[in-house]
Amino acid sequence: MDLSKNFSPDELQVMLLICLFVLFFCIGLTLILLFRNRKLSSRTRKMAYHIFGLKEELQQEHARYLSKSERIDRLKLDLENLAGHLNALAPLFEQMPFPVWRREANGTISLANLAYLRITGDDKITGKEHQPIRELHRDISLLMQDKQQQKNSMATYVIVDGDRRFFEITEMRLADGSVLGFAIDRTEYNEKRRELEELTSMQSDVMSSARSGMAMFGADARLQFYNQAYAKLWNMQEEWLAQMPSYGEVLEYLREKRLLPEQANFSNFKKDQLALFQNLLKKKEEYIYLPDGSVIQMTIIPHQQGGLLFIYDDLTEKIMLERSYNEAISVKRSTLDNLQEGLVVFGQDGKLQLCNPVFTEIWNLPSNCDEKQQHIADVIEETKPFFEMSDDWEAYKEQMVSSIMSRKKIRQKIERADGSIIDMSTVPLPDGATLVTYNDVTASERLQQSLRAEKQALEEADDLKNKFMANVSYELRSPLTSIQGFAEVLQQEYFGKLNQKQQEYVQDIYDSCQQLNRLVNNVLDVTSIDAGFFELQMQPVGVEELVTPLFAEAEKLATKKGIGWQVEIDAKNAVIEADAEKLRQVFFNLIENAIIHTNEGEVKLHIAQANGQLRVKIIDTGCGISSDEQEEVFQKFYKSSNNTMPGTGLGLTAARHIVELHQGALLLDSEMGKGTTITCHFKLVE
């Protein structure tokens, strides 16, 4: 289009000046937007550079035009080019993704792009016939009230399509007094910044409450953050840490306090540590072994914003526990391997978890059966050769699996086809597993069977002996009674007087009959007690009534032996519930036994009462009984090693049994060479 045909040279010059003004305005606006927002397209940047170059060309060409006509012709051409460029820039201005506007000196908005109009709700650039463009925000017009101020910014929220968006708004004053403004949507940036602040705050709270020692050093290697665990671990004063020391100073402190491993060259060590701030790109873990034996795990993590995060965990106790645990496991394993019992543990899922060599040996299983973790059913299946079963095997296997996994304590004996006997017991464990032990008791079972058979044979022999002795005793009693009766007749001289020798013989016959009668009675008493049909005729009896008939015979025996006989009774009015005949027989047997085993000194009968009890003591000064034999002398037919006197060895046995049947107690106290004391305790009748 030829503008010279429609406009005069003066008009063309004015139009050229206007175009230059508009061009300079667009150039400034474009450059500002270019450097304020890096997100502009490459096409936009090229266009801006092109326009800027066009400006320089126009200035150079304008200087070369010497004549008015030449300048006019050049202006016409430039005006056409400028019009073309303006037509090309107009869509770019309209389609800018952020709001751009121009505010006149009177405060009204004269120019705005589509992004601005979408926010305010206006769809056309204002003209005289249109309404004024509305403000993007009510406070923006206050930005440039200061006429001396060339640029100002603010950040505020603006409602866009019902959403609350955060914009960073900037206005700049132009040469003609108008203001160029634009707004950048920083909503996502603001939200990310707020999330980062919240995350940083939360991270700081977590680190402060963490049990691990944590310290954050910045890119300048100076302390930025630490928690209480860090200060406590390294015994650092908070006043010193508040000064934000460098990592090098921290290393010097730790070295001084001997809280670092010994280093041959500390300077090189320190240099290597500080180099981590430039070289470390990923997390690094290492263990620190301190001179005092402590073990610290150090984790170094590069921070996104520069610097390093140090995390320290004191593993001393954990390592000691692990060492103790490993030692305990080793001891446990060694103990299990050396047990005489076979041991196996089945888990809650029925799989074999643990077994010892004895278990595999008993059932002839592979030594590494615990590594296979077989199911209990498979393990029992491998023991099938030890059982002679065909049709019942599956039922037996199912019953064994059910019994073991029932989590009940079970004990049973398993008889195998080879004749061996296995004692099996199960114990439920707290973790849901089941412990099963197997013990080969074949030898002990056979020994027990042999002992039971021997015991039965001995019991039968003892029973036969008791029956024999009882029968013999009963058979002896009748002739003894006759002999004793005839001896008494002869002593009374019913059929004529006897000479001295005859009287001695008759007395010996009578004494022998009485002694034999007492022996027979002892045998009968013991056999009756063992048989369980010994009966007492219990009734109240006085102490004097009970023991007085014994004095004459006891004194006679003591005189004959050439020893003394004494009686002390401090309970003459005492009464006990007793079978007088049997108890009198017990006392006489004890007194006679004491006299027989006393060669010199005396035998004393002492009777007293105290605390509702009657105490009868027979005290002698005989040879005594050794401590090893004091309990054995109460066994049937037992005679002490220093007893050379004739007798059956049943007297003390019968005496203890009869006293205990009276709800009493018979105790023996003896010392070799000093004598023996036998004490009988009875309950008094109130």
For 8, 39, 40, the CA distances from 33, given in Å and listed in that order, are: 37, 10, 8
- Alpha-carbon distance 208 to 226, whole Å? 7
- Alpha-carbon distance 80 to 54, whole Å? 13
Residue 41's pLDDT band, with cuts at 50, 70 and 90, is very low
What mean pLDDT do residues 582-601 have? 86
pLDDT tens string 552-573 = 888 888 888 889 999 888 887 8
Instruction: Please report the DSSP string for 75-98 in residue order.
Output: HHHHHHHHHHHHHHHHHHHHT-SS
Question: For residue 292, what are its two tokens?
Answer: 């005092």
Q: At 537, which amino acid appears?
A: Q
Would you say the C-alpha torsion 632, 633, 634, 635 has a positive or negative sign? Answer: positive
Closest C-alpha among 274, 286, 300 to residue 219: 274
Q: At 389, which amino acid appears?
A: M
Q: Is the pTM of this model over 0.75?
A: no
Q: Which position has the higher pLDDT, 649 or 459?
A: 459
Q: How many residues does the chain have?
A: 686
pLDDT tens string 124-172 = 444 444 456 777 777 777 776 666 677 788 888 888 877 888 888 888 8
Does position 46 have pLDDT exceeding 60, yes or no?
no
Beta bridge partners of 103: 109, 179
Closest C-alpha among 286, 226, 238 to residue 260: 286
Does position 582 have pLDDT exceeding 70, yes or no?
yes
Q: What is the pLDDT of residue 349?
A: 87
Residue 71's pLDDT band, with cuts at 50, 70 and 90, is low
pLDDT tens string 493-505 = 777 787 878 777 7
Q: What is the pLDDT of residue 246?
A: 92
Strands 564-569 and 602-610: parallel
Question: For residue 228, what are its two tokens?
Answer: 């209480």
- Alpha-carbon distance 231 to 216, whole Å? 13
Closest C-alpha among 95, 92, 99, 96 to residue 168: 99
pLDDT tens string 593-638 = 888 888 888 999 999 988 888 999 999 988 888 877 777 777 766 6
What mean pLDDT do residues 645-671 have? 78
Residue 65's pLDDT band, with cuts at 50, 70 and 90, is very low
Average of per-residue pLDDT values in the chain: 78
Does position 218 have pLDDT exceeding 70, yes or no?
yes
Does position 1 have pLDDT exceeding 50, yes or no?
no
Q: At 163, which amino acid appears?
A: D
Do 576 and 539 touch, CB atoms closer than 8 A?
no
Would you say the C-alpha torsion 20, 24, 29, 31 has a positive or negative sign? Answer: positive
Q: What is the pLDDT of residue 680?
A: 92
Percent share of the chain, pLDDT over 70: 77
Residue identified by tokens 């401590």 is: 627
Lowest mean pLDDT among 47-56, 119-128, 351-360: 47-56
Residue identified by tokens 């809280």 is: 259
Q: What is the pLDDT of residue 52?
A: 52
Q: How many angstroms from the chain centroid is the CA of residue 584?
A: 70
Q: What is the pLDDT of residue 384?
A: 85
Q: Which residues contact 460 (CB under 8 A, 6 or more apart)?
A: none
Count of CB atoms situated within 10 Å of the CB of 589: 22
Q: What is the pLDDT of residue 646?
A: 52
Percent share of the chain, pLDDT over 90: 5
Residue 197's pLDDT band, with cuts at 50, 70 and 90, is confident
- Alpha-carbon distance 53 to 68, whole Å? 24
Q: How many angstroms from the chain centroid is the CA of residue 267?
A: 45
Q: Which position has the higher pLDDT, 423 or 92?
A: 423
